[in-house]
């Protein structure tokens, strides 16, 4: 049970027996019989405790940073490293999708290179056999997942791979 009491005392939930002892810093005085005997003001002894000149240092002036532009947010890296480059959004209006007709898994290299360059790819696989088509779709699925793109089925045998951040207008 003592461990429980110690835990309660540590958390401040214990009994107040510790605080019942008289405070040593308060001087006991005899009761004042009339108002004329009461001290008016403060004791000279308390003046010795606080010294106005000792232990006070003037605070250092606060240096203000350079004025900042509220039009955007500036992110600063760790000290000693060059500042980060600004990221500019891509011009999505000029991106035209390219249509490819892969017939074998060997055409996946061109699909991947076009997709990595930020160009949307439309795969027309109507003429592709089922086994090769399955492998190409698996490749395209992994490619779009790894590069945060999207893979959509437009119609039977036709798929569109769209890179992250690129929008294709609906026609």
What CATH number is attached to the domain comprising 107? 3.30.110.150
Contact 97, 121 (CB under 8 A): yes
**Average pLDDT estimate for 73-83:** 63
Contact between 98 and 168 under an 8 Å Cβ cutoff? The reply is no
Does a structural domain hold residue 44? no
pLDDT at 97 over 80: yes
pLDDT: which is higher, 87 or 117:
117
61 domain-assigned? no
Asked if the structure places residue 17 within a domain, the reply is: no
CB neighbourhood size of 62 (10 A) = 5
Position 62 scores a pLDDT of: 75
Q: Which of 112, 115, 108, 93 is nearest to 167 (CA)?
A: 93
Residues 109-165 pLDDT 10s? 999 999 999 999 999 999 999 999 999 999 999 999 999 999 999 999 999 999 998
Kindly state whether residue 48 falls inside one of the protein's structural domains. Answer: no
In a domain, 83, yes or no: no
129 belongs to a structural domain? yes
pLDDT tens digits for range 21-74: 555 555 555 665 655 555 555 555 555 555 555 666 777 777 766 655 555 666
Backbone phi and psi for residue 123, each to the nearest 5 degrees, phi listed first:
-100, 120
pTM value surpassing 0.75: no
d(CA 156, CA 135): 16
CA distance 4 to 14: 10
**CB contact at 8 A, 72 and 84:** no
Total domains present in the chain: 1
In this predicted structure, what is the pLDDT of residue 93?
46
Can you tell me the distance from the alpha carbon of 19 to that of 23, in angstroms, rounded to the nearest whole number? 9
* Strands 98-100 and 121-124, bridge-based pairing: parallel
117: domain range? 97-162
């Amino acid at each position: 049970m003592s461990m429980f009491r110690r835990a309660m005392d540590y958390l401040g939930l214990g009994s107040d027996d510790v605080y019942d002892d008289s405070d040593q810093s308060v001087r006991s005085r005899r009761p004042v019989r009339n108002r004329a005997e009461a001290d008016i003001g403060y004791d000279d002894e308390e003046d010795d405790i606080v010294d106005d000149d000792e232990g006070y240092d003037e605070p250092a002036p606060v240096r203000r940073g350079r004025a900042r532009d509220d039009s955007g947010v500036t992110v600063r890296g760790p000290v000693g490293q060059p500042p980060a480059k600004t990221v500019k959004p891509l011009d999505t209006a000029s991106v035209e999708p390219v249509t490819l007709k892969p017939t074998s898994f060997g055409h996946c290299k061109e699909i991947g290179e076009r997709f990595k360059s930020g160009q949307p790819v439309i795969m027309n696989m109507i003429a592709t056999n089922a086994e090769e088509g399955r492998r190409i779709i698996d490749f395209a699925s992994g490619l779009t997942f790894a590069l945060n793109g999207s893979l959509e089925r437009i119609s039977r045998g036709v798929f569109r791979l769209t890179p992250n951040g690129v929008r294709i207008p609906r026609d």
